Amino acid sequence: MMTNNGDNNIHSMEEQRRRKADNFRLRIQDDYDEAGEIDYRDESEEISSYSGEDVKDMIARESKRSLKRKMKAEKRELRARNRRNRRVFRIAWLISVAIVGAAIAVFMITGMNDLLAINRKDNTAVTITIPKDPTIDSVTEVLAKSGVIGEPNYFKMYAIVTKSNNFSPGSYELTQNMDYQAILSNLQGHSRRTDTVKVTIIEGMSVLEIADKLMEEEVISDKNEFLKLCSSDDFDSDFDFIKEIPNASERYYKLEGYLYPDQYEFYQDDDPRSVIYKLLNNFEDKLHQKQDFGYDKLYTANKMIEKFETTYNLDEILTIASIIQAEAADKEDMYYVSSILHNRLKSDTSMGVRKLGLDSTKYYPYHSEDDLPEDTAKGYTSRYDTYDKEGLPPGPICNPGMDAIKAALKPYDTGYYFFCHDKYGNAYYASTIYEHEANLRNIDA
């Protein structure tokens, strides 16, 4: 039994090996084509199909992973670079702050020292000249060049902050140890100006003649501006006697008669308005002096009437005084001429002397026929011509002095109505036209 079973097992194993060998041969035969070569088509197609899809997916996944790794690396590099940049920036910022702080500290310290003139002990006097139309820049440049200041930028900053920019052109005497406030005060207050000019306004000079004199002495640079101001209302608010002028529109120059003749000290290239204020202030002061009139504030018209028992107001008195100034030969003659003017003005019209007939009024505002402009000389007629009009002219014909004003206020008591002078200045007075004509013949003889 055992032998049979063993034989059967051996036979069964051999049978299995034979079937495997047959299958192997059949498989090999199938793999060759008719030409005896192996056919790889089915296997290649299976391999190709399998590897294409999988490889693409695999490559895509790998690419994503690589991109993520690269982006992470770049972010790490960027963060590291930003950290380095921030450290560098902080260091640079701290250094800049330190430098700027130090510069500001130096600027402030040196500026304050210069402002207070701590380092400028030298009291040497320096004359500086501020140009026309001065600015903070131009003034600072002049001060720095002359050694009056040491820190131009700080001075400009101080002048701007304190709004000290109202400078006047001219020459000033300063010292090198002045602080900023003293410098600015002197430049704005004229107290240390050295470019002064002494000008004498002579009694009897007209507005036109005064303007020419001021131009000649270089006190003003614009004659037309001066004349325009003399015809304006700009001074009414400061002087009642100007505001009370009744017929300003009829006059050639409103301020004629009020620019008091005297010796003055002006600045070169002065402001015409300041010049006129100085003249008007002097006029007002003179009318206040007791030694001249016996009481204060004579310019009040009512007081003039009360004191001198005259019916004329201040403006009319000045008009009479201006004629006296222009016509009289000397101080004594002024009172006689004044008497004649008052007598004529008060006379009855039947006497035929209401027309004053004064040569001094014929060509006003010009002094004589020779002074007339060429374009107006022919047929010129003045609104002030007393040969043509009765009574007083519209206003003064010049600026009278105090003697003429006194004579106008208190004339001699005479019966004269006419006067004339010879070439030597001798005066001749007459009560009638016949006496006057005789005097004229004697003068001409």
Residues 323 and 380 in one domain: yes
Give the Cα separation of 243 and 233 in Å (integer).
8
Give the Cα separation of 253 and 26 in Å (integer).
147
The winner for highest mean pLDDT among 100-104, 159-163, 419-423 is 419-423
Tell me the residue range of the domain where 376 lies. 301-444
Last residue of a domain, one of 189, 212, 233: 189
Are the beta carbons of 170 and 195 closer than 8 angstroms?
Answer: yes
Residues 264 and 392 in one domain: no
The answer to whether position 316 is within a domain reads yes
Residues 344 and 239 in one domain: no
Identity of the amino acid at 433: I
What single DSSP character describes residue 248? G
CATH number (domain holding residue 132) = 3.30.1490.480
Token pair for 196 = 């002064």
Are the beta carbons of 256 and 242 closer than 8 angstroms?
Answer: no
SS3 percent helix, strand, coil of the chain, rounded to 5, is 55, 5, 35
Q: What's the rounded mean pLDDT across residues 25-51?
A: 49
Please count the structural domains in the chain. Answer: 3
Cβ neighbourhood burial of 336 (10 Å; 0-12, 13-18, 19+): buried
List all residues 6 or more positions away from 355 whose beta carbon is below 8 Å from its beta carbon: 386, 387, 388, 389, 390
Last residue of a domain, one of 189, 217, 233: 189
Q: What's the rounded mean pLDDT across residues 264-292?
A: 87
Residues 387 and 253 in one domain: no
Give pLDDT tens digits for 42-65: 544 444 444 567 777 777 777 788
Residues 325 and 417 in one domain: yes
The answer to whether position 108 is within a domain reads no
Instruction: Assess whether pLDDT exceeds 70 at residue 198.
Output: yes
Residues 373 and 431 in one domain: yes
Residues 168 and 248 in one domain: no
The answer to whether position 89 is within a domain reads no
Residues 380 and 440 in one domain: yes
The vertex-63 CA angle with 59 and 68, nearest 5°, equals 155
Residues 148 and 248 in one domain: no
Output 260 or 169, whichever has higher pLDDT: 260
| Secondary structure of residue 416 in the 3-state scheme | coil
The answer to whether position 439 is within a domain reads yes
Residues 316 and 376 in one domain: yes
Are the beta carbons of 237 and 225 closer than 8 angstroms?
Answer: no
| pTM exceeds 0.85 | no
Give the Cα separation of 228 and 343 in Å (integer).
36
Last residue of a domain, one of 229, 261, 293: 293
Specify the pLDDT at position 59: 77
The answer to whether position 120 is within a domain reads no
Give the Cα separation of 273 and 123 in Å (integer).
35
Residues 390 and 425 in one domain: yes
The answer to whether position 172 is within a domain reads yes
pLDDT above 70 as % of the chain: 80
The answer to whether position 31 is within a domain reads no
Residues 431 and 390 in one domain: yes
Q: What's the rounded mean pLDDT across residues 334-362?
A: 90
List all residues 6 or more positions away from 400 whose beta carbon is below 8 Å from its beta carbon: 203, 204, 257, 261, 318, 321, 322, 324, 325, 408
Q: Which of 148-152, 330-334, 375-379, 395-399 has the lowest mean pLDDT?
A: 375-379
The answer to whether position 262 is within a domain reads yes
Peptide bond into 365 cis (omega under 30): yes
